[in-house]
Amino acid sequence: MNGAGGTSGGTGQFFLGLVLMCGGFYLLLNSVVVSSSFGLGTRLFGVGGYGITGGIVLIPLVIGIAMIFYNARNALGWLLAVCAFAALVFGVIASVNMSLRTMSAFELICILALAFGGLGLFLRSLRSAARAEQAAAPERRLRS
């Protein structure tokens, strides 16, 4: 019977590591505060010293959509609409700010220990137990 990952590793280590890792990363991601400064008057890009706002990006989008509705095979209309939409999505994503909420050093260390300790245990369970014994054998010979 094979263990976790098709190896002879420990299935118990696999599930314990998975639970610890999921819990730690959940707590870490739950501590991140996400805010945005996006608005129609907010500067998204800077081109040659001029600021391009979200409202200005909507102008080629609207023109492109109008050209598409007038003639669906108009390549310029599709190009305008797709590029303006991509610039708008990029601007929204670029305006996102992320920060950690205020927490004590103890809380942060516990969260990181859960997340990365669980990750290490999870990955160790995927190694073959026989291969782990072979890797530890040279160390034993050196000690004796």
What would the pLDDT profile of 70-85 be if each residue is shown by its tens digit?
Answer: 999 999 999 999 999 9
Question: pTM for the whole thing?
Answer: 0.60
According to the model, what pLDDT value does residue 11 have? 80
What per-residue confidence (pLDDT) applies to 70? Answer: 96
> What contacts 40, CB < 8 A, 6 or more positions away?
53, 54, 55, 58
Give the pLDDT score at 28.
95
Q: How far apart are CA 84 and CA 61, in angstroms?
A: 5
What pLDDT score was predicted for residue 6? 59
- Give SS3 for 73: coil
What are the residue ranges in the chain where pLDDT is below 50? none
User: Which residue carries 């730690």 as its tokens?
Assistant: 24
- For residue 14, what pLDDT is reported? 86
Q: Could you tell me which of 44, 39, 45, 78 has the C-alpha nearest to residue 61? A: 78
Q: What is the pLDDT of residue 7?
A: 58
Residue matched to tokens 């999870």: 122
pLDDT value for 53: 78
pLDDT at 143: 67
